[in-house]
Amino acid sequence: MQASLEQLSQIIVFAGLETADKVSLQPYTQVQRHRKGEIIFHEGDRLPAKLYAVVNGSIQVTKTATTGKETILRALATGEIFAAPALLGNGISPATVTVESDCEILTVERDALLKAIGQNPEIALRMLTVFNSRIQQLHETVHGLISERAIVRLAKLIQYFAAESGTESTSQGKFLKVKLSYYRMARSSGITYEECVRLIKSLKSVIAYRRGGTIMILDAEKLDA
């Protein structure tokens, strides 16, 4: 189905566009619903020339090594764009995109997007800002895998999600608004599931982990240290 003006407004790169500009984009948009666990596309798939964005729900981007080990590159929620090669690269998906929670994916045809960018260059600037931020994050991840201890990478991962998704303060500490399972943390920081469990237990004076992936930061200063 075609995207509504409200759905277009939820996408980061279209925030602030005039209503008339969003109306002109509508005929070239499509919104499709996906269920949890569904694969939107596999690594190596040919991508149609479109902009992809999450209208609601969340997705997970993963890459699998030749050894079979899967690494979570990032998780994206409402408003985020993804699948850059569909617009800027060779049109081949560099990773697998899986639905983390029931979601709706909005697409905009490339030619219509380029026309919109010609009229509103700020769209391109916002896209570049997003991609630059991800490149920096990837650089830090690669650097961490090479030079930092596993416990440091894990601590930084928790800090990242605390800043990215926000926290909720209680008398005991700050709850992360996003759930982080052992599996997700292990695959995001380049360690095994077993090592992740061991390290989280070693941080029991700094963070509290509850079944289901709920994390509470007990001491932010110690976590930073």
Three-state DSSP class for 36?
Answer: coil
Q: Are residues 133 and 87 in the same domain?
A: yes
Strand partners, 77: 58
CA 169 to the chain's CA centroid: 24
Q: In this structure, are residues 47 and 83 in contact, taking their beta carbons and an 8 Å threshold?
A: yes
Q: Are residues 178 and 85 in the same domain?
A: no
Give this prediction's pTM.
0.71
Q: Are residues 121 and 205 in the same domain?
A: no
Q: Kindly list the distances between the CA atom of residue 154 and the CA atoms of 65, 151, 162, in Å, as whole numbers in the listed order.
A: 21, 5, 12
Q: Are residues 21 and 43 in the same domain?
A: yes
Q: Are residues 118 and 21 in the same domain?
A: yes
pLDDT in tens, the chain (225 residues): 999 999 999 999 998 889 999 999 999 999 999 999 999 999 999 999 999 999 999 999 998 877 777 888 888 999 999 998 888 878 999 899 999 999 999 999 999 999 999 989 999 999 988 888 887 877 676 666 666 888 998 998 899 889 888 899 988 899 999 889 998 898 888 888 999 999 999 999 999 999 889 999 999 999 999
Report the CATH number at residue 133.
Answer: 2.60.120.10
Q: Are residues 199 and 105 in the same domain?
A: no
β pairing state of 81-82 and 50-64: antiparallel
Domain boundary among 144, 175, 206: 144
What domain count does the chain have?
2
Three-state DSSP class for 19?
Answer: helix
Dist CA 102 CA 58 (whole Å): 7
- The domain containing residue 181 runs over which residues? 149-224
> Could you give the angle at the alpha carbon of 13 between the alpha carbons of 8 and 14, nearest 5°?
35
Which two three-digit tokens encode residue 11?
């996408």
Domain boundary among 94, 127, 144: 144
Q: Are residues 105 and 180 in the same domain?
A: no
Task: Determine the pLDDT at residue 142.
Answer: 66
Dist CA 92 CA 107 (whole Å): 16
Strand stretches in the chain, DSSP E: 29-34, 39-41, 50-64, 70-77, 81-82, 96-109, 167-169, 174-176, 207-210, 214-217
Domain boundary among 129, 144, 159: 144
Spatial CA neighbour of 55 closest among 84, 96, 14: 14
Which of 70-75's residues contact partners 24+ apart within 8 Å by CB, and which partners?
70/187, 71/187, 71/188, 71/190, 72/184, 72/187, 72/188, 73/138, 74/134, 74/137, 75/100, 75/178, 75/184
